[in-house]
Amino acid sequence: MSVMGLRPTGRLRASILAAVLPAAVLPAAVVMAGCGSSQTTSSTSSAQASHTPAGPVNCSGAQLALSYAGTQGATGHLEVTLALRNISGHPCLVRGYPAARLLDRTGHALPLHLSKGHGFFPDTLPAPRTVTLKPGTTAHFGISFVTNNEYARAHTCRTAAAAMSAAPGPGGTHWQRVSLRSAPRISPCGDQLVVSPIHA
């Protein structure tokens, strides 16, 4: 009898399927497991990257509060020191020279030209440095001028009652005003103001 003409019985067919199916299913299962592992690793890496903490950014004007911090004087010069305090809940960075004005009793700016650095007082001499302000901490800068009307181009003296300043930073110019009533008499002579860089 020829073997080629025989059809497998039910038991024989079941035995053949039992032997063939595991071999076919196993590679597919391995491929699917590999894909799942790759997707999980990729998702974990993305989640870790998205939660990486960013460093401090530049302070905006709204994060800073301006206040009077004192004066110092020597040989016909006076410097008014102002403070910038971080009133936000996040650390931020300040760097450079703030804008500054002195105002008379009516609130008008005195006709004074502002120069950046290279003045009489030591804090006007260094180059600007970045200052990190944690919440509640303070940086300072000075506004200095001549108080002796015997100096060249300083024969006219004017009295200031307040100061205005805007810290360098993003978000446009944010001017703040501070009273100088608690300061000694502020009477710059001539037409020059010198502002120091912001420092700790």
Residue written as tokens 């592992």?
A: 37
* CATH placement of domain 57-195: 2.60.40
pLDDT, tens digit, for every residue of 138-176? 999 999 999 999 888 899 999 999 999 999 987 768 999
Domain boundaries, the chain: 8-52, 57-195
pLDDT band, very low/low/confident/very high, at 53 (cuts 50, 70, 90): low
Q: Determine which of 24-28, 108-112, 125-129 has the lowest per-residue pLDDT on average.
A: 24-28
- The arithmetic mean of pLDDT across residues 8-23, rounded, is 48
Q: 112-146: string of b/e by CB count within 10 Å (b at 16+)?
A: beeebeebbbebbeeebeebbbeeeeebbbbbbbb
Question: Are residues 139 and 92 in contact, defined by beta-carbon separation less than 8 angstroms?
Answer: no
- Residue by residue, DSSP assigns 47-71 as HHHHTPPPPPEEPPGGGEEEEEEEE
pLDDT, tens digit, for every residue of 185-198? 999 999 999 999 99
Judge whether residue 45 has pLDDT over 70.
no
Check residue 103 and give its pLDDT. Answer: 98
Q: 23-55: string of b/e by CB count within 10 Å (b at 16+)?
A: eeeeeeeeeeeeeeeeeeeeeeeeeeeeeeeee
Average predicted confidence (pLDDT) for the chain = 83
Q: Give bridge partners of residue 72 from the DSSP assignment.
A: 79
* Cα–Cα distance, 133 to 35 (Å, whole number): 47
Widest distance between CA atoms in the chain: 135
Residue written as tokens 């024989």?
A: 12
Check residue 11 and give its pLDDT. Answer: 52
Check residue 54 and give its pLDDT. Answer: 77
Residue written as tokens 């079941």?
A: 14
Judge whether residue 111 has pLDDT over 50.
yes
Q: 82-95: string of b/e by CB count within 10 Å (b at 16+)?
A: bbbbbebeebbebb
Distances (CA, A) of 50 to 36, 42, 57, 127: 21, 12, 18, 36
